[in-house]
Structure 1
Amino acid sequence: ADSPLATPWIEDFQPEFALPEYPRPQMVREEWLNLNGLWEFAVLSRDEGSPDRFPETILVPFPVESALSGLGRRVTEDERLWYRRRFKMPASWKGRQVLMHFGAVDWETTVYVNGREMEHHTGGYDGFSVDITPALEPGRIQEIVVSVWDPSDTGGQPVGKQHKEPRGIWYTPSSGIWQTVWIEPVPEVSIAGFRLIPDVDDQSLKINLATRGEARDLVIEAVAFSEGREAGRAIGQPGEDLHLAVEDPRLWTPDDPYLYTLKLSLKRGEEVLDSVDSYFA
């Protein structure tokens, strides 16, 4: 789409490389599938059902109003956006649960997988995830359909400086999918998230990790690394505070913004059920 501010970067942009980097650097898994790129697209009135046809294409994850989306069009509060994407599940993921993540969608979102409604979310700035495993159909191409309604400044939700009539300090709205969409396979019991709290005086890192699924008889192993060498190790229980000591730590400063790397593993005995990489300072 035409842009009021075209740059050489825009001219050289290729849809297959739309935000290809891993979207969650604080909690990295090795296996994942990026669903950014060209999606089928349709705009209907808000009260209509799902479209029979998707006559346009849009480049995800750029807002409909942006030039990089390929559309650069305005959306009214009486319209609903519809996205469709088909993909093939990697064969190596068979037997595992599959999570779909949306970095952000503005504003009210419904997610369908193979015709089955899997998630309804409201909020334009927070990410959300859904376990799509029950809707997946082995041996076929999987279909995702996403419905989005965004009233922008005519609704009651937080919109920042978005405005239907941008001027002065008010900006063009950012409707629809505007952060990375991706999927990843996880075991039945997996790491759901964690909090990291460094304690400079105690020279330690407090870790509290939550799991998905029944965490009975499981332990968490945390290993810190500095320039590839082990800098500390601790073992504890999911849901409990784990204290990882780091002797004589190299402290982060603006002049030396040093980061330690961290590997967290969920284990049953010597078997590693799930592991993620992170970082801390």
Structure 2
Amino acid sequence: MSKKKDNGVPGLCRTRWSRSINPADTWKEYPRPAMVRASYINLNGMWDYCFTPSPNIPARFEGQLPVPFSPEAPLSGVGRRLSPDEFLWYRRSFTLRKQQKDQRVLLHFGAVDQECDVFVNGKPAGEHTGGYLPFTLDITDITEEASNELLVRVRDYSDTSCYSRGKQKLDKGGMFYTAQSGIWQTVWLELVPDPYISAVHFTPDYDGSCCRVRITAGGRRKGGPIRCTVRPETEEDRQYRDDPARPAAGKQSSGTVCVRTFSPDREAVLPLPGFHAWTPEDPFLYHATLEMEDDRVECYFAMRKCDIQTGSDGLRRIFLNNSPYMQTGVLDQGYWPDGLYTAPCDEAFIYDIRAMKDLGFNMLRKHIKIEPQRWYYHCDRLGMLVWQDMVCGGSSYRHWFVTYLATLFNAMHITIKDGRHSRFLLSRRDAEGRKQFLRETKETIEALRVHPSIVCWVPFNEGWGQFDALKIADFVRSLDSTRLIDHASGWFDQKGGDLCSLHYYFFTLKFRPEPVRALALTEFGGYSWQVPGHSYSEKLYGYGKYDSRQTLTEGYRRLLSSTILPAVKQGISATIYTQLSDVEEEVNGLYTYDREILKPDGETVRKLNQELKDAVNRH
């Protein structure tokens, strides 16, 4: 890559998108496609910012940065890291049109890393802890019809606290990456009536040919009856989600398959005889218009089922819509050289998903990160299964135990319990950190369960902050019984959940079919090739090292043909290759970090993926 700068982004940090976008004018798409209203004010763009050593409001600000890019991200133009002992301030103004009677003003944040306090017109509006989850503040009583000032104060402890942090590390390197902070997803306003629809949960009942729906109402007044109109999704519906100002297709009754009226906070049943099922090959969506008094929301859902059943070969396997279905996936870290946690634009999301589909993959494991809602929407509409990791936390990880010794124990079939006596070794002695993990697990499921592409929840990975995984699996099941649970991906299996989850990098792949759980190879490969001119760092981190496309492709082919395909025939129901792209020092991606170079031969990858699918789907 050229060292020339475009939009202030160094050449080795650029992608094809950051060459052309204006960071101050990106991420204007509707941020919540699964629940759309016409009233929408996007607050992304240039905000004042300031770093301070104290929590006091600064007398003046240092400059401007483009929200939602973190100050650490090259696209922000700041190039400054927020330290754990500092505060990061944001400021901008917004104007509201004259409010109607009983109208509420809702302020939405997609995600702010890690703690934040919000002020509107100098008055406290609310606070939030947790750097990966959306939150909403009702700021009606502290706004004016004229100009309003919005202040956000952020503190980020990164990996020096027990809070969830994912793959971020202040001292980055190897499998851990640049720490980022502050606002990294869309900020937006909604003007809603009182009462209003605040949450929507669709639960497909595939065998019952119906979908269950529960609507939660918000506001000061009690919500009245809700009218729900369901029809197959049209192209106009898709366009409306990207531009809520255009007339909604839901105003037309053409194609309606179901109409029901029900009360808020009570489950209703939407009968769908002869429904059209959702699959990655045919991602068919149903569109729902919800109307409650003066409120109107456009939503969607899909009819699909994912569970564990016994195949015709007598082995427990993952089924999709009551048929055996091989899930061939890749590990997806969701990092970008120009935006870190924030993709440079919506088109970049679409590119990653389509690139993996083109290679024959039908699943992405979103690794230790929660994406903006638009990423899941694209998986829903394009047809990509998702395994969603919870974000790991805890004190500093003891890699001699959770990586090296755990790998050896796993090869020797030695099980390490993750109860009270292991909390020191697994970095979970802090009670507040455990409580925070439970809160965030619940909030993650509540925020994302509307997306039909998600078919599996993954609470823990390789012992990073793991604790009481059996109890956590039961907790997840109580929140959502319709999806698979991989309760402990990798080394610290506690014999719970729906899957025996194996990682394979070093030792011989050994496994035994089980009578209840299915087998899944949830990480493997990680083969590396550092492509000159397309690498972030001179350092190299990976597992098998190669020096050309030809040798990498041959290594990949040999691994899949000699080890993975026989394992699939013997019971493995899902495979997840490490990984979608290089990330900083990790050069084990199918694509380079800038997404410019596909490293192995694409036709070879497609052919091997089809062989894996054929080995299972024929049963």
Instruction: Tell me which residue corresponds to 2:298.
Output: 277
Q: In 2, are the aligned partners of 1:109 and 1:122 still within 8 Å (CA)?
A: yes
Query: How far apart are 1:265 and its partner, in Å?
Result: 1.1
User: Quick one: which of 220, 224, 232 aligns to 2:258?
Assistant: 232
Instruction: Tell me which residue corresponds to 1:125.
Output: 132
User: Quick one: which of 10, 14, 30 aligns to 2:22?
Assistant: 14
User: Quick one: which of 105, 113, 122 aligns to 1:115?
Assistant: 122
Q: In 2, are the aligned partners of 1:233 and 1:245 still within 8 Å (CA)?
A: no
Runs of 4+ in 1 over 6 A off after TM superposition: none
User: Quick one: which of 252, 261, 265 aligns to 2:291?
Assistant: 265
Question: What count of residue pairs does the alignment treat as equivalent?
Answer: 273
SS in 1 for 2:168: coil
**TM-score under structure 1 length normalisation:** 0.93
Q: What amino acid does structure 2 have at the position aligned with 1:125? A: Y
Q: How many Å separate the matches in 2 of 1:60 and 1:150?
A: 17
Q: What amino acid does structure 1 have at the position aligned with 2:182? A: G
Query: How far apart are 1:238 and its partner, in Å?
Result: 0.9
SS in 2 for 1:9: coil
- Which consecutive unaligned segments of at least 5 residues does structure 2 have? 1-7, 235-253, 303-619
Query: How far apart are 1:5 and its partner, in Å?
Result: 1.8
- Which consecutive unaligned segments of at least 5 residues does structure 1 have? 267-271
Q: How many Å separate the matches in 1 of 2:270 and 2:141?
A: 38
The superposition leaves residues 151-174 of structure 1 with CA deviations (integer Å, 9 ceiling, x where unpaired) of 111122111111111111110012
Query: How far apart are 1:122 and its partner, in Å?
Result: 0.6
Going from structure 1 to structure 2, the CA distance change for 1:88 and 1:215 (only over 3 Å counts) comes to closer
Q: How many Å separate the matches in 2 of 1:87 and 1:94?
A: 18
Which structure: greater helix fraction? 2
Q: How many Å separate the matches in 2 of 1:11 and 1:87?
A: 29
Query: How far apart are 1:221 and its partner, in Å?
Result: 0.9
Going from structure 1 to structure 2, the CA distance change for 1:104 and 1:247 (only over 3 Å counts) comes to same
Q: How many Å separate the matches in 1 of 2:222 and 2:71?
A: 46
Q: How many Å separate the matches in 2 of 1:176 and 1:117?
A: 18
Instruction: Tell me which residue corresponds to 1:89.
Output: 96
**TM-score under structure 2 length normalisation:** 0.43
Instruction: Tell me which residue corresponds to 1:33.
Output: 41
User: Quick one: which of 170, 188, 196 aligns to 2:202?
Assistant: 196
SS in 1 for 2:159: helix
Which structure: greater strand fraction? 1
User: Quick one: which of 251, 260, 273 aligns to 1:247?
Assistant: 273
Instruction: Tell me which residue corresponds to 2:50.
Output: 42
Going from structure 1 to structure 2, the CA distance change for 1:216 and 1:153 (only over 3 Å counts) comes to closer
The superposition leaves residues 172-204 of structure 1 with CA deviations (integer Å, 9 ceiling, x where unpaired) of 012000010000001121111021111112211
Backbone CA RMSD of aligned residues: 1.5
Q: In 1, are the aligned partners of 2:24 and 2:67 still within 8 Å (CA)?
A: no
Q: How many Å separate the matches in 1 of 2:17 and 2:52?
A: 32
The answer to which structure, 1 or 2, has the higher relative contact order (CA under 8 A, 6+ apart) is: 1
Going from structure 1 to structure 2, the CA distance change for 1:94 and 1:244 (only over 3 Å counts) comes to same
Q: How many Å separate the matches in 2 of 1:121 and 1:36?
A: 19
